[in-house]
Amino acid sequence: GLVLNRRRRRRAEAALEALNASLEERVSERTRELHQANEALQDAKEALECLNASLEQLSRTDSLTGLPNRRHAEEFLSDALARFRRYGQGFVVAVADVDHFKRVNDACGHEAGDGVLREIARILVAGVRECDLAARWGGEEFVLLLPQTDIAGASALLERIRQAIAAAVHGCATPLAPVTATIGAAEIRPGERLDDVIRRADEALYTGKAQGRNRVVWDAGEGPEGVVG
């Protein structure tokens, strides 16, 4: 009886060991599967985040020029206004418009006109500082935000940009359709909203158009050394 019990116990122990080994293998396999599933989930999460970031970037970028679009510019302007109201960090808003852009399209076609807009976008990016913003506002109109700069510094920067646009060798530039830009500028004032300073920059732009185009014009009462326009 003792021998029989001993044999039974040994068989039970062997069966238990085999069962434990099988369970360990199944647990190990399941652990590997879970690890692989977690890695796949993490990869999918990273891919989704990358896609969302790309979509967010696309939603803020003008597809033709590669500049920030109006939505991005408005958010940037809102941040600048908040800093102005809280810390007194002023800024200048400038609106640049391509002169007689319809003539460019009529003389050379819309594809050439698109090329002109891309070239002007390149000049704007090259002409502003790292802290500035150059964005496409709509059509042939661009907006510039120049934070923490005075009127004299902004005037010099805007004049360099105007000259660079007029001097650039565009694919379409004829005596009947020269490529120039008029720029209207205004400095933020205490108590103003964004609409106010943008409106004043627009008004300066239309003044520049009336004066003959291809110039930098400041809102009335502003300008380098107190000179209007």
Active site residues: 140
Q: Is residue 104 within 8 Å of 113, Cβ to Cβ?
A: yes
Which residues are registered as beta bridge partners of 135?
A: 143
Give 56: exposed, middle or buried? Use CB within 10 Å, 0-12, 13-18, 19+.
Answer: exposed
Residue ranges of E strands in the chain = 91-98, 133-138, 141-147, 181-187, 216-218
Q: Give the integer Cα–Cα distance in Å for 52 and 200.
A: 37
In angstroms, rounded to a whole number, what is the distance separating the alpha carbons of residues 189 and 227?
18
Alpha carbons within 13 angstroms on the beta-carbon side of residue 174 total: 13
